[in-house]
């Protein structure tokens, strides 16, 4: 297990701190359902900055390969993650609900005890493709149609709900 890392978000920004390191997929318990196996590591970098309106922002960069299930053949699909996101830190629920109305801005509540691994897992889950598939010439499935019933059991359909949920807490 990696040691838990927590930050005080507003303090992190006012001191323009940067954190970088590696996370081990084995430690990502909430990602488990999406993964073909839990072998591998991802690199991350989190920086605290002020935007041009003096709003506190966490810049999150996550890179690496993540093993997913191909929705056509159910085999292993190595997906390249290349996440670069800016998350605005809302100082209260009111501000956060305003942010939620603006689709281009991601926001979370400022937290004096933010668990970095949880934040990274959220960002990864939100960035995963809804229906990952091999390219046709790389897939072992002989044939498929877009109305493949596998899609209906796809765990990724719960993502939209999850996104709302993680914003509230
Ligand atoms: Zn496939």
Cα-based angle 64, 67, 68 (whole degrees, multiple of 5): 125
Angstrom distance (rounded) from CA 152 to CA 162: 17
pLDDT of residue 152: 46
Q: What is the pLDDT of residues 4-43, one digit of tens each?
A: 899 999 999 999 999 999 999 999 999 999 999 999 999 9
Q: What is the pLDDT of residues 62-90, one digit of tens each?
A: 999 999 999 999 999 999 999 999 999 99
* Ligand 1 midpoint to CA 85 (Å): 29
Q: Is 34:155 a contact under the CB 8 Å cutoff? A: yes
Which among 25, 29, 23 is positioned nearest to 43, based on CA atoms? 23
* Ligand 1 midpoint to CA 136 (Å): 8
Q: Is 150:133 a contact under the CB 8 Å cutoff? A: no
pLDDT of residue 145: 53
DSSP conformation class of 1 = -
* Ligand 1 midpoint to CA 143 (Å): 10
pLDDT of residue 168: 45
* Ligand 1 midpoint to CA 43 (Å): 26
* Ligand 1 midpoint to CA 73 (Å): 4
pTM of the model: 0.78
* Ligand 1 midpoint to CA 27 (Å): 26
Per the DSSP assignment, residues forming a β-bridge with 114 are: 7
Q: Classify residue 119 as exposed, middle or buried by CB count within 10 Å of its CB (0-12, 13-18, 19+).
A: buried
- Banded model confidence at residue 156, pLDDT cuts 50, 70, 90: low
Domain boundaries, the chain: 6-168
pLDDT of residue 99: 84
pLDDT of residue 104: 80
In the chain, % of residues over pLDDT 70: 82
Q: Classify residue 121 as exposed, middle or buried by CB count within 10 Å of its CB (0-12, 13-18, 19+).
A: buried
- Banded model confidence at residue 169, pLDDT cuts 50, 70, 90: very low
């Amino acid at each position: 297990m990696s040691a838990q890392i927590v930050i005080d978000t507003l303090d992190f920004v006012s001191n323009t701190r940067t954190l970088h390191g590696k996370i081990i997929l084995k430690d990502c318990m909430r990602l488990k359902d999406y993964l073909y196996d839990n072998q591998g590591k991802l690199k991350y970098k989190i920086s605290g900055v002020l935007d041009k309106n003096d709003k506190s922002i966490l810049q999150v960069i996550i890179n690496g390969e993540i093993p997913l299930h191909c929705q056509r053949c159910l085999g292993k699909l190595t997906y390249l993650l290349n996440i670069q996101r800016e998350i605005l830190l809302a100082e209260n629920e009111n501000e956060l609900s305003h942010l939620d109305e603006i689709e281009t801005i991601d926001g979370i509540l400022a937290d004096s005890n933010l668990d970095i691994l949880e934040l990274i897992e959220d960002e990864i889950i939100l960035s995963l493709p809804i229906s990952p598939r091999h390219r046709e010439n790389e897939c072992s499935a002989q044939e498929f149609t877009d109305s493949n019933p596998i899609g209906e059991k796809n765990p990724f359909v719960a993502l939209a709900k999850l996104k709302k949920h993680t914003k509230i807490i």
